[in-house]
Structure 1
Amino acid sequence: MQSPEAQLEILKRGAAQIINEAELLAKLRLGRPLNVKLGVDPTAPDIHLGFTVALTKLRQFQDLGHQAILIIGDFTAMIGDPSGRSKARPQLTHDQVMNNARSFQEQAYKILDPERTRTVFNGQWFEMMTFEEVIKLNGRVTLQQMLQREDFKNRLERGDAVHLHEIQYPIMQGWDSVVVKADVEIGGTDQLFNILVGRDLQREEGQPQQIVFLMPLLEGLDGVQKMSKSLGNYVGVSEAPTEMFGKLMSITDTLMARYYLLLLGEDVPDIHPMDAKKQLARRIVARYHGEEAGNAALEDFNTKFSKRDVENAEWPVVDFAGVNQDIVSIVVAGYEKGYQIAKSRGDARRLVEQGSIQLHEEKITDPKATPTLAAGTVLKLDKKRAVRVG
């Protein structure tokens, strides 16, 4: 185990906020493995790279000799974390949550070492609570505390509902920290309130308070808004290797540096930016699909773009039957059917007018054009994507 000071320098790289560094250093000087907690609610079967930022930091703690505690919120997921939400999340059944949990664990263990990870489900203690115990736990916090949350305040100001079960969520997350005796809790910047509740409950229980260790919310492929499936700017960890690789190659050089730091815990290597980006994409694909898949995705990308062998490359096959034959409608359908990306007609028109759309290696620049799409033909949609006519 490295010195406490050396560990602190490693751990704080990429962190958004630590409350506080002096307390963390004091805990590191205890000379024992720290209990480092990350709680996750399996509200969906698949996760995107934005979610892996916290998992990557947990692995960093793990590699420094500390105890990683992964709490699967099978109970809290049925409530749904209200952090950053403008309305209540849809409530899930326990069966839905457990099905998602199995898939989530498989993906999480591609980052964490399962042999060195203590994985627990918070239903183990919440299912055992009597109603009297729930009431006593609620008695430790006030309504005024809960309504300090920005998301709750904003809803109330708009006249939107704040459901009582949502108010339970920070209390339950905080109690998780008491049960596992967390020394550190990792979360995104939107988790500050919840983790602070955990500190308060630990103090009342006579436990040392956990360190709040907040990680940034990863920007999506657009480099502006946080990665989100609803915004379409995400990279899913279960996506096909070539699709994952292609998406990562579309990011800017500035965003690439951020992805290196938050997803790999490293600085960008001192090589040509294009080679650095290829290395980033290959390593991330390899993390979730294996080294062979990472190398194959790199070779596929080189075939498609570096070698300019567009016609012979492997592309998503799209059936355009039933699609209006004007080029704008064709482009929109090509994105939606080939890449599950929603392009508006306005976006498609701009792509046509700027010369991005190519058929038979020839540009189509007239938005009113009605090209003939023969089976097997490659329609190039932009610099990174194309589809083959089915």
Structure 2
Amino acid sequence: MDIGSILAEIKRGTAEIIDFERIESLIKNFYEKGEKFFIKAGFDPTAPDLHLGHTVVLNKMALLQKHGAIVQFLIGDFTAQIGDPTGKSATRKKLDADTVAKNAQTYKNQVFKILDPEKTEVMFNSKWLNELGAAGIVELTSTFAVARMLERDDFEKRYKAGSSISISEFLYPLLQGYDSVAMKCDIEMGGTDQKFNLLMGRTLQRIYGVGKEQAVVMMPLLEGLDGVNKMSKSLNNYIGVEDSANDMFAKTLSISDELMWRWYELLSVKSLIEINELKDGVKDGKIHPKAVKEALALEITERYHGKEAALSAKAEFDKIHSAGGLPDEMSEYELGAPVWIVAALSHCELSASNSQARRDIKANSVSINQEKITDEQLYLEAGEYVLQVGKRKFAKLKVK
């Protein structure tokens, strides 16, 4: 086994690695001595759905599972009731226990689309944090000074702005660091926005005499469909892990050629050599960028839905966009005549609101029976219509 190639793949796409020498030693020990090692990644179950941005870290863990890692997938059911203050300008609301439990189960169902369940331990930090008790928490707080805590960028900004910072929020990074003590992990992974919390694990492992200090691997935040902002459900620039195969394929094809290479680096299982060959082919004009993007869309869709569904999604996309056809399946709605087109678009969930429907019409994005319309005062009489907004949104409307 070429250790150098493995280490190059581990480095691929990372934003920062602290103590890479330790990771190199762990990989070598696995291949020379058969010793396995533990990787921690924590997810607070504050939302029930994962998107491709979340999978950047999961993909790297799945790679390491092939080279000796046991993933400790930590669901922060205890810390979720505090709420991670990272990047927040205000104190977060606490989640109730039932919501945490429900969201945790949803996460478990989704992560095994990426991680090997045979090499994954799902853990809940309530197990040891509940046992820590008042005395243990007081001892934990004595390990870190308030001045150091206020060096954290988001706390510093809120303090200077006179915004509220609760004592429980100071506890959050300490509790996340204590997770690393309890789990005795060798590596912790997270996004670049988690650096302060990730380093806390190294500090506390040393203070509590665990006998090791975890290496830290930080992954960049994946840009969303717009190619500018990080992937986020609130910005509606995301692809959800549980999106339909048709949506997943079509959305991937909508990204720019420039963003495509970024996604290849962070989301594809193709090797760096294979990706560079594709880049050279596009640069030399031997391969069309669209073909490369289609290959990426197929790979991502197949990962979450299987090969047959991915090929079907491609065929559906080609039918609609290349041949000018209509999708085989569309949501169906009924309304009484006459129907104002703006209200129809909103009712059929093609536009988020009447205001958005007006904007869609003005942008020349709306079609009825595959013919563009520009009149926002149009009323539909009795009949059956196929409404379309943009390239991907379709609905059948029966007006009685």
TM above 0.5, yes or no, is yes
Matched, 1:42 2:58: no
Q: Is residue 285 of structure 1 aligned with residue 276 of structure 2?
A: no
> When the two structures are superposed, what TM-score results if normalisation uses the length of structure 1?
0.89
Work out whether residues 39 and 70 of structure 2, in 8 Å CA contact, stay in contact via their aligned partners in 1.
yes
The Cα of 1:349 is off from its aligned counterpart by 4.7
Would you say the 8 A contact 1:76–1:169 is kept in 2? yes
Query: Structure 2: how far apart are the matches of 1:177 and 1:342?
Result: 50
Structure-to-structure mapping, 1:1-390, within 5 angstroms: 2-31=1-30, 32-206=35-209, 207-266=211-270, 267=275, 269=278, 270=281, 271-310=287-326, 313-319=328-334, 325=340, 331=345, 333=346, 337-338=349-350, 344=356, 347-352=359-364, 356-366=365-375, 368-372=376-380, 375-390=383-398
Per-residue CA deviations over 1:176-209 (Å, capped at 9, x if unaligned) read 1111212111101111000011111111123221
Question: CA offset at residue 286 of structure 1?
Answer: 2.4
Structure-1 residue corresponding to 2:284? none
Using a 3 Å threshold, how does the CA distance of structure 1 residues 338 and 380 change in structure 2: closer, same or farther?
closer
Contact 1:317 1:338 (C-alpha < 8 Å) held by counterparts: no
* Cα distance change on mapping 1:321 and 1:227 into 2, 3 Å: farther
Q: Which runs of 5+ in 2 are unaligned?
A: 282-286
SS in 2 for 1:68: strand
Question: How far apart in 2 are the matches of 1:163 and 1:49?
Answer: 32
Shift, 1:314, TM fit: 2.6
**CA 1:364–1:99: 2 relative to 1, 3 Å:** same
**Distance of 2:86 and 2:322 partners within structure 1:** 43
Equivalent pair of 1:227/1:234 in contact (CA under 8 Å): yes
Of the structure 1 ranges 212-221 and 238-247, higher mean CA displacement relative to structure 2 is found in 238-247
Instruction: Tell me how far apart the structure 2 counterparts of residues 180 and 342 of structure 1 sit (CA, whole Å).
Output: 52
- 2:126 is matched by which residue type in structure 1? G
The answer to whether the 8 Å contact 1:232/1:341 transfers is: no
CA distance change for structure 1 residues 140 and 4 in 2, over 3 Å: closer, same or farther?
A: farther
Letter in 2 for 1:110: K
The residue identity in structure 2 corresponding to 1:381 is V
- The answer to whether the Cα contact below 8 Å between 1:36 and 1:185 also exists between their aligned partners in 2 is yes
Aligned length, in residue pairs: 381
Distance 2:130 2:58 in 1: 26
Write the letter of the residue equivalent to 2:374: T
Checking the alignment, whether the CA contact within 8 Å between 1:380 and 1:387 is kept in structure 2 is: yes
- Counterpart CA distance in 2 for 1:292 and 1:378 is 27
Once residues 33 and 77 of structure 1 are traced to their aligned partners in structure 2, the CA distance between those partners, rounded to angstroms, is 30
Pairwise CA distance, 1:117? 0.9
Deviates more, 1:283-292 or 1:338-347: 338-347
Give the C-alpha shift of residue 320 in structure 1: 6.1
Please report how far the alpha carbon of residue 282 of structure 1 lies from its aligned counterpart in structure 2 after TM superposition.
2.6
Percent identity reads 39
Q: Residue by residue, what CA displacement relative to the aligned partner does 1:114-134 show, whole Å, maximum 9, x if unpaired?
A: 011122111111111121111
Unaligned runs of 5+ residues in structure 1 are none
Find the aligned partners of 2:23 and 2:359 in 1 and give their Cα distance: 49
Query: By how many angstroms is 1:6 displaced?
Result: 2.7
Say if 1:358 and 1:344 are closer, same or farther in 2 by CA, change over 3 A.
Answer: closer
TM-score normalised according to structure 2 size? 0.87
Indicate if the aligned counterparts of 2:187 and 2:214 stay in contact, CA closer than 8 A: yes
Q: Distance in 2 between matches of 1:319 and 1:253?
A: 40
State the Cα distance separating 1:39 from its structure 2 match.
1.0
